[in-house]
Amino acid sequence: MRPIIGTMDIHIELERKLAKFKGAEACLVFQSGFTVNVACCQSLMSDPKDLLISDELNHASIIDGARLAKAARKVYPHKDMKALQAILESPEARAARRKMIVTDGVFSMDGDLAPLPAIMELADKHGAFVMVDDAHASGVMGKNGRGTPSHFGLSDRVQIQIGTLSKAVGAIGGYVAGERRLIDYLASVARPFMFSSSHPPSVVATCSAAVDVMMDEPERISKLWDNARHFKEGLQKLGFDTGASETPITPVMVGDTAKAQAFSKRLFEEGVFALAICYPIVARSKDRLRTIVSSAHTTKDLDFALEKFGKVGRELGLI
């Protein structure tokens, strides 16, 4: 590629690579996944006549973006397609200038998947467009980890695909992929993009190399899924409730804040790091440990962790 100015060329190369990865025309990289969600909600839902429709368990960055947007907001119960349909059929939605349905692709606390085919069908029927936050699906779901639209065969239909560079990619940053005119528009109005510095070249190079790994070494993703299955089955055999998880994000439901914190602390003393997620991050009595395996874990690592989960779980009367 012809050098442009200084390090600009590697930024542009990363955006081209991510657009291709997502099967989109273009892409824009932001400082974090949080800022890209805020920016898209705020910039695309900028008029009081717009309507932003959101799953109740969407990430905090979508909630904050919706608060900054000038649009009206409607929230539907988690994955409830009847409720989404009712919102889309309401007089308010019919009168709206633009309607955007926003959903996480993989929900961050429960590890379950959005019903994307049903969402897309309703969106098409009612003239809405769809934004999918694939923070936890990039590098995990779909061909070479392209995300939930790829997993469901909807890459060419979902209008706005969000990814982070801070999870499977292992660096920092976020991106939005979609049509060229969407990306050009965001580049000229998205405030976190325009009024905050971009990544240094070291971060861009790290992200770029990580995308190459996802494209060239799909066996890592297969290993991730093998590990996730092994660990989840092991937890279930021990008698733990792993909730609604369908992905490597695997909650271990506890239901009590003090117990979840004690569980996490005792596991750490035994050599296992598993963070307690408690109210207000999740609803009251949905306290849990949130676990996630990686492709780098060995079966020996996972069996060690399972043995400790069993030991501490029995000690605390959880199983």
Q: How far apart are the first and last CA of the chain?
A: 59
Binders of ligand PLP in range 205-244 (CB under 6 A):
none
Q: Which of 14, 18, 29, 32 binds ligand PLP (CB under 6 A)?
A: 32
Least separation in angstroms between CB 173 and ligand PLP = 7
**Residues 62/40, Cβ–Cβ less than 8 Å:** no
The residues annotated with a catalytic role in the active site are 108, 136, 167
Asked if the bond preceding 201 is cis, omega within 30° of 0, the reply is no
* Closer residue to ligand PLP in complex, CB, 34/240: 34
Q: Which residue is nearest to ligand PLP (CB)?
A: 33
Torsional sign, CA 119, 143, 30, 193: negative
Binders of ligand PLP in range 151-170 (CB under 6 A):
164, 166
Q: Which of 74, 99, 126, 136 binds ligand PLP (CB under 6 A)?
A: 136
**Measured CA distances, 26 to 151, 180, 213 (Å):** 20, 5, 21
Least separation in angstroms between CB 38 and ligand PLP = 10
**Residues 291/231, Cβ–Cβ less than 8 Å:** yes
Instruction: Identify each DSSP E strand in 122-234 by its residue range.
Output: 129-133, 160-164, 174-178
Stretch that binds ligand PLP, among 26-34, 46-54, 183-191, 263-271 (CB under 6 A): 26-34
Residues 6+ apart with CB under 8 A from 219: none
**Measured CA distances, 123 to 79, 99, 100, 110, 256 (Å):** 14, 9, 8, 24, 38
Between 57 and 86, how does the x/- string for binding to ligand PLP read (CB under 6 A)? --x-x-------------------------
Q: Where do we find the tokens 């397609």?
A: 81
Phi and psi angles of residue 30, each rounded to the nearest 5 degrees, phi first:
-115, 175
Instruction: Identify each DSSP E strand in 8-85 by its residue range.
Output: 26-30, 51-55, 72-76
* Closer residue to ligand PLP in complex, CB, 14/93: 14
Q: Which of 15, 50, 55, 104 binds ligand PLP (CB under 6 A)?
A: 104
Stretch that binds ligand PLP, among 27-35, 41-49, 193-201, 279-287 (CB under 6 A): 27-35
* Closer residue to ligand PLP in complex, CB, 33/147: 33
Tokens of 175: 């991106």
Our finding on whether 133 is near ligand PLP (CB under 6 A) is yes
Stretch that binds ligand PLP, among 33-41, 120-128, 177-185, 311-319 (CB under 6 A): 33-41
* Closer residue to ligand PLP in complex, CB, 110/133: 133
Stretch that binds ligand PLP, among 29-37, 192-200, 218-226, 299-307 (CB under 6 A): 29-37
- The single-letter code of the amino acid at 89 is E
**Residues 191/46, Cβ–Cβ less than 8 Å:** no
Least separation in angstroms between CB 108 and ligand PLP = 4
Give the residues lining the site for ligand PLP (CB under 6 A).
32-34, 37, 59, 61, 104, 108, 133, 135-136, 164, 166, 174
